[in-house]
Chain A
Amino acid sequence: MYRYDEFDREIVQSRVKQFRSQVERRLDGRITETQFKPLRLMNGLYLQLHAYMLRVAVPYGSLRAKQMRQLAMIADKYDRGYGHITTRQNIQFNWPELTDVPDILNDLAEVEMHGFQTSGNCIRNVTSDPYAGATAEEIEDPRPTAELLRQWSTMHPEFAYLPRKFKIAVVASKTDRAVIRAHDIGIEITKNDKGDVGYHIIVGGGLGRTPIIGQTLREFLPREELLPYLEATLRVYNRYGRRDNKYKARIKILVTETGIDAFKQMVDAEYETLEPLDIAVSAEEVARITSYFSGPDFEELPTHDDSYKAKLLSDKDFKNWAENNLAEHKMPGYAIVNISLKPIELAPGDITSDQMRAVADLSDKYSFSEIRTTHQQNVLLPHVKKSDLYEVYQALKDVKLHADNIGLISDIICCPGMDFCALATARSIPVSQAIAQRFADPERQRAIGEMQIKISGCINACGHHHVGHIGILGLEKAGVEFYQVKLGGDASENAAVGKVTGPGFSQEELVDGIERLVDYYLEVRKDGERFIDSYNRLGMAPFKEALYAA
């Protein structure tokens, strides 16, 4: 696991002190709101529609049990007993009070957490594959690279005021569980013909009001060139990215307007002027960081476990859960346990303090104290022995965390929308609930198979609707909410932006329309085809017809 070193500790603690003093000065009027706002945002504190909101960074989605327990404590002591997992693998509290925030940050610092880089035009929290260190698909654990980027970008003086926010995601397998093609920079750790490990660098992806799939900047970047090359890329963006119009300020616009080839030339020219050795980290430093992630002491186990198999046969609910929520582990006899935060009746991504503590206890007991958050707004235990799965399942059931819908139609990504967000144009939570209710029948969900519905409450697209198989955007006209539908988006390694079907729907019409759409798919699909496959085979027209058939 990532080990917090003395630099981090000092920085985080001095920032807490700093913020405490800033809050005091704000409260007694020595600093104005205009001066204070950027200071609070730098610590992840927003003012939302009804109250403040605190966003806590979870670097590359890796959490330890004691951190999860502390988050639970914070939820109880200072908030309303729950938190919300975001599509950037962070956690948000919806109801903190400004006067408590210095204490919250202090409590977070005790477990090596903070809210840096969760806001503002800096390099944001680096995200990664939640299966990191656990999946056999990966070339190596992507987290040392993510950590290297975190260290490089944390308070990098040159990149504190970029034209706009900057998001980086890293994976190390062909399967993309971090949507790297929808990031400002996406990195896939890869091997070249000679077997050397390096980086496939993708640039200029993004969602928001102008969704763009990233393009390849370097097919293969040698390992030691990573930081200098990204430094050059960020310098080019910092210099040429537009600052006159915040809607055109992301790197995706610069790359599109310049053209990828010309952009690459600019980066290469900048790279020539660098002293790469000043920025590159030594092999020893890479080894030191990598050693933090050396992985737990796995037991040598047989691939199959008889007690687990027996339970699969005797408990049908357990079998359904296991089939849907488990993923293959690189070690024989282990499994990755996905925990769905999408029970039919609750808001996607919300987790109560009791549930946080239960997950923390389970991870201590069964998963080497490791927990991950996912961009799908779920959590997972990365390393569970198959022989322990039944106990884990029972314990999850006790706290209602046993929903067996990972990857299915009710595993919906959904932003807070108008219920909490100051920028929203419509609600998103009730829509996701209505869809989940309509398809509540577990048999039906399994029959439909993999389906990604993603909902945003405004064009900022925090709910990833552009890359949903079915994407839903909440809008408002003359005081009435309506919902626009996109089809054919894809958040995987085959990333694609969905296409708008046509005029929007009321919430009720929308759910009926989606049901017709899904029924149509079930009619026309060929063996084993997922919804997105059928859509790609048949195109928009017939699906659109089904959607609007009423």
Chain B
Amino acid sequence: MSTLKHKGKGPQSLTGNELREGYSVWLTPELEWSRDFGEALKTEDETLIAAMQAKGEESEEANFVVGVYFIDIEPDTGLPVRYREKFRVKGPSYDTADELGLKREK
């Protein structure tokens, strides 16, 4: 199990990677996983955070996601605080496949 427990400040989101495909996912208000950060649940509500934590653990045990952890969210922008997490949300700013119009989807 990862360092799932949140010790962060401000609004929290829960993220991880799909075990099968490997893509980054975020937990939605329906407590489902989405590849789109736009759909992520961002909350300071401790009850909700506890529910997110339970869902994270359950999803890891169900072998659906790996490496689940909480991230801090900037209240004003709704984006992750850490630079790295901002990048994970956006995807690569450069990818040769996009640049050359190679396969978009696999």
A417-434 CB contact bits vs B (8 Å, 1 = yes)? 011100011010110010
Residue A365 interfacial (CB < 8 Å): no
Tally B residues with Cβ within 8 Å of A. 32
B46 at the A interface (CB under 8 A): no
A48 to B89, CA, bound (A): 13
Going nearest first, the 5 A-B pairs with the smallest beta carbon separation are A81-B102, A80-B97, A52-B22, A419-B92, A51-B22
Q: Is A26 an interface residue (CB 8 A)?
A: yes
Among A79, A346, A479, chain B packs the most CB atoms within 10 A around the CB of A479
Q: Which of A94-102, A209-217, A235-243 contacts B (4 or more CB under 8 A)?
A: A94-102
- Which of B5-13, B26-34, B50-58, B59-67 faces chain A? B59-67
1/0 contact string of A253-291 vs chain B (CB within 8 Å): 000000000000000000000000000000000000000
Q: Which residues of A contact B24 (CB under 8 A)?
A: 49-51
Assess whether B20 is in contact with A99, with CB atoms less than 8 Å apart.
Answer: yes
Hey, what's the 0/1 contact readout for A460-485 against B, CB within 8 Å counting as 1? 00000000000000001001110000
With most chain A CB atoms within 10 A of its CB, the pick from B22, B87, B102 is B22
Chain A 79-120 interface residues, beta-carbon cutoff 8 Å to B: 79-82, 94-99
In-complex Cβ contact of A80 among B67, B86, B87, B102 (8 A) = B102
Contact A430 to B93, CB < 8 A, known contacts A47-B17, A418-B87: yes
Identify which of B21, B66, B83, B88 contacts A476 (C-beta below 8 A). Answer: B83
- Complex Cα gap A95–B22 (Å): 8
* A225 interface contact, C-beta 8 A: no
Q: Which residues of B contact A (CB under 8 A)?
A: 17, 19-24, 60-63, 66-67, 81, 83-84, 86-88, 91-97, 99-100, 102-104, 106
Q: Identify the closest chain A residue to B89 (Cβ).
A: A50
**Is A27 in contact with chain B by the CB < 8 A criterion?**
yes
Q: Chain B residues near A122 (CB, 8 Å)?
A: none
User: A479 is contacted by which of B20, B63, B86, B95 (Cβ under 8 Å)?
Assistant: B86
Residues from chain A with a CB closer than 8 A to the CB of B67 are 33, 47
Q: When the two chains form their complex, are residues A82 and B92 in contact, meaning their CB atoms are under 8 A apart?
A: no
Task: Name the residue on B nearest A46 (C-beta).
Answer: B22
Kindly state the separation between the CA atoms of A33 and B22 in the bound complex, as whole angstroms.
13
Residues of A near B88 (CB, < 8 A) are 49-50
A-B pairs with CB below 8 Å: how many? 102
A157 is an interface residue with CB less than 8 A from chain B = no
Residue of chain B at shortest CB distance from A45? B22
Which chain A residue has the least Cβ–Cβ distance from B60?
A33
Assess whether A520 is interfacial by the CB under 8 Å rule: no
Residues of B within 8 A of A353 (CB): 102
Q: Which residues in A have their C-beta under 8 angstroms from that of B97?
A: 80-82, 95
Task: Please tell me if the beta carbons of B22 and A98 are within 8 angstroms of each other in the complex.
Answer: yes
Binary per-residue interface labels of chain A (343-354) against chain B in the complex, 1 for a CB within 8 Å, 0 otherwise: 001110010110
User: Does the CB pair B93–A98 fall under 8 Å?
Assistant: no
A76 beta carbon closer than 8 Å to chain B: yes
B22 shortest CB reach to chain A, Å:
4
Residues of A within 8 A of B (CB): 26-29, 33, 47, 49-52, 76, 78-82, 94-99, 345-347, 350, 352-353, 418-420, 424-425, 427, 429-430, 433, 476, 479-481
The verdict on A82 contacting B96 (CB below 8 Å), with A97-B20, A97-B22, A476-B83 known, is yes
Is there an interface contact between A479 and B99, defined as CB atoms closer than 8 Å?
Answer: no
Whether A430 contacts B83 by the Cβ 8 Å rule is no
A424 vs B86: C-alpha distance in the bound complex, in angstroms?
Answer: 13
20 A-B pairs besides A26-B19, A26-B63, A52-B22 with CB distance below 8 A are A27-B19, A27-B20, A29-B63, A33-B60, A49-B87, A51-B22, A80-B95, A80-B96, A80-B102, A80-B103, A97-B106, A98-B19, A98-B22, A99-B21, A346-B99, A346-B100, A347-B94, A424-B84, A425-B83, A479-B86
Q: Are A47 and B96 in contact (CB under 8 A)?
A: no
B106 touches A50 (CB 8 A): no
Contact A82:B91 (CB < 8 A) given known A27-B19, A98-B19, A98-B22: no
- B94→A98 contact, CB < 8 A: no
Contact A50–B84 (Cβ < 8 Å)? no
Q: Tell me, rounded to whole Å, the shortest Cβ–Cβ distance linking B90 to chain A.
A: 10
B95–A79 CB distance below 8 A: no
Q: 14 A-B contacts, Cβ less than 8 Å apart?
A: A27-B20, A33-B60, A33-B66, A47-B22, A49-B24, A50-B22, A50-B91, A51-B17, A78-B106, A345-B99, A347-B96, A425-B84, A429-B93, A476-B83
